[in-house]
Amino acid sequence: MGTAREIDAVDYQTLERQVVSLLEDENDFIANTANFAAFVFHEIPAVNWAGFYFPEAAGLVLGPFGGRPACTRLPRDRGVCSAAFGSGRTVIVDDVLAYADHIACDSSSRSEIVVPLMLDRTVVGVFDVDSPIASRFTQRDARGLERLIERLLERTPFPERYKASRDVSRSEGTRIKERIDIHTCRNHHVVLRYLVDEIAKAANDPASIAPYLARLRSILLAHLNIEDNWLYPQLARSPNPAVRSKAERYTREMGGLRDGFAALWVRWGDPGAIEGAPEAWQRDWQPFERAMSARMDAEDNDLYAAAEAATAETA
């Protein structure tokens, strides 16, 4: 397992040169993708799986990889690999446990990065890397892995059957990605409402609230992350002016909820804090819960509904 220092020290320029020499005398597709996956698996620290998925009629099928045996088939438009494949964009998931649309192949994976294999505008597969450490992958890894993949694609002729697979115009990719994001956000709301209900039921047993609050935290952070980094920026670029102005308004208002939770967590995140002062906890929790629930209702009925209508219009 890699330390934080080793992770920061990954030298992608050197890895790029090594990939070039690893592949230079060979152009067989299986030989090169197999060696590429094994190379990344061994050379990049804190990684428990690295491998390819390629398109087929029903979704994606497993290709060469390093690590434990993995799921052989990923259904179309489900999971992180399909999100990268459908959008033609690299996807980073900081916490797979809090990402409703993740397909779990190995319970030791905590974070994931998936890089699409782009030949011009055609996606011919994806390269998926998993880590046992949450938030393992950054934009630096994304750019580094994308460059390694470019070197592979330059040197390796891909089978024709993959090239015909999907011509991702940016707009189609963006629409697919928006639909996946909205679906994931709605799923997060379902889990958050369940946790709010459990916390309400536990009012007479304050000692049992802490695990629900910890779970709520991980879902809420993942949710705000998707909204911040993917959903709102995409909706703010929508061709539909009503969606654009809603997205801008919701983005402005979002900070309040994030700060509200941060304050709640500072005060009540420590073990034993809630049971030590249950009335004070309720006084802090209830206004936050009301604000979060109102916000989720507004998003479900207003923002997400408008966004879904807009993606359906242009589909």
Q: Applying CB under 6 A, does 113 fall inside the site for ligand SME? A: no
When the beta carbons of 53 and 281 are compared against ligand SME, the nearer one is: 53
- Site for ligand SME (CB under 6 A): which residue of 112, 141, 227, 299? 112
Any contact of residue 224 with ligand SME (CB under 6 A)? no
Q: Which long-range contacts (CB under 8 A, 24 or more apart) does 252-259 make?
A: 253/295, 254/224, 254/227, 254/228, 256/291, 257/224, 257/291, 257/292, 257/295, 258/224
Question: For residue 32, what are its two tokens?
Answer: 């090169």
Can residue 97 be called a binding residue for ligand SME (CB under 6 A)? Answer: no
The minimum distance between CB 126 and ligand SME, in angstroms, equals: 8
Candidates 100-108, 139-147, 149-157, 225-233; binding stretch for ligand SME (CB under 6 A): 100-108
For ligand SME, what does the binding mask look like between residues 18 and 57, x meaning CB under 6 A?
Answer: -------------------------------x--------
Question: What are 4's two structure tokens?
Answer: 């934080």
- Bridge partners (DSSP) listed for residue 53: 62, 126
Give the nearer residue to ligand SME in terms of CB position, either 80 or 310: 80
Distance CA 250, CA 27 (A): 50
Which H helix or E strand runs over 29? helix 29-43
Nearer to ligand SME, 55 or 206 (CB): 55
Q: Is 134 in the site for ligand SME (CB under 6 A)?
A: no
What is the SS3 assignment for 100? coil
How big is the chain, counted in residues?
A: 315
